[in-house]
A and B are shown apart, each in its own frame.
Chain A
Amino acid sequence: EAAVTQSPRNKVAVTGGKVTLSCNQTNNHNNMYWYRQDTGHGLRLIHYSYGAGSTEKGDIPDGYKASRPSQENFSLILELATPSQTSVYFCASGAWGEQYFGPGTRLTVL
């Protein structure tokens, strides 16, 4: 039973459009994270959350917003998508330093 799920798994968006990536976890972890993975850069942290109602900026937050409406759900929002945001996005949940990842969302911005 997958503990961290993401939707959609694939998304094609147009420049300037709004994109919302969703993540759900059944681990009952307080912490949740959004990363992007690009060749040559590895995984980089965009936003994270310590619990419902909280969001924090990671290392590369520009152009992204996050929302944590509940313990289980954490969304990443691109208000005005740009081609530079084409990437694979991973959500993770974690506690005490250990993290568990979702399957990823491949986003292409044309």
Chain B
Amino acid sequence: GQQVQQSPASLVLQEGENAELQCNFSTSLNSMQWFYQRPGGSLVSLFYNPSGTKQSGRLTSTTVIKERRSSLHISSSQTTDSGTYLCAMDNSAGNKLTFGIGTRVLVRP
């Protein structure tokens, strides 16, 4: 089965709305990372977040290792936030990432 489940699969927001993206892991993990990807673009690291809460501007990531989940909160969304958000976990000693399929976000003006 899928080791990394992301929800929702897609999301449409009106500019200014908040959103919460979820990532659940089927196995224990050492760490996890959130990425942002524009269509046709590369992956930009948003957070490396093994545990706890981290904030960067309007983005907040919270990882609860014991519960095998992580969330990404987008506050006051902007059209430039549109794209795909990917989470990935490292559950091995080899520092290898396993990715979810992503949440596609569209922010309308």
B15 interface contact, C-beta 8 A: no
Bound complex: CA of A91 vs CA of B42, how far in Å? 10
User: What residues of A have a CB within 8 angstroms of the CB of B33 in the complex?
Assistant: 97-99
Contact B96 A101 (CB under 8 A): no
Bound complex: CA of A94 vs CA of B45, how far in Å? 12
Contact A42 to B30, CB < 8 A, known contacts A96-B95, A102-B42: no
Contact A97 to B95, CB < 8 A, known contacts A41-B101, A42-B100, A104-B42: yes
User: Which residue in A40, A42, A45, A103 is a CB contact (below 8 Å) of B96?
Assistant: A45
Contact A45 to B97, CB < 8 A, known contacts A97-B30, A103-B42: yes
Q: Is the interface of B mostly helix, strand, loop or mixed?
A: strand
Q: How far is the CB of B6 from chain A (nearest CB, A)?
A: 9
Nearest to A31 among chain B residues (CB) is B95
Count A-B pairs with CB separation below 8 Å.
57
Bound complex: CA of A73 vs CA of B96, how far in Å? 18
User: Which residue in B31, B45, B90, B99 is a CB contact (below 8 Å) of A43?
Assistant: B99
| A-contacting residues, B31-68, CB 8 Å | 31, 33, 35, 41-45, 48, 50
User: What residues of B have a CB within 8 angstroms of the CB of A45 in the complex?
Assistant: 96-98
A33 interface contact, C-beta 8 A: yes
Bound complex: CA of A52 vs CA of B95, how far in Å? 17
Nearest 5 pairs of A and B residues by beta carbon: A98-B48, A97-B31, A101-B43, A43-B99, A42-B101
A-B contacts, 6 of them at CB < 8 A, read: A42-B101, A45-B98, A48-B94, A99-B95, A99-B97, A104-B41
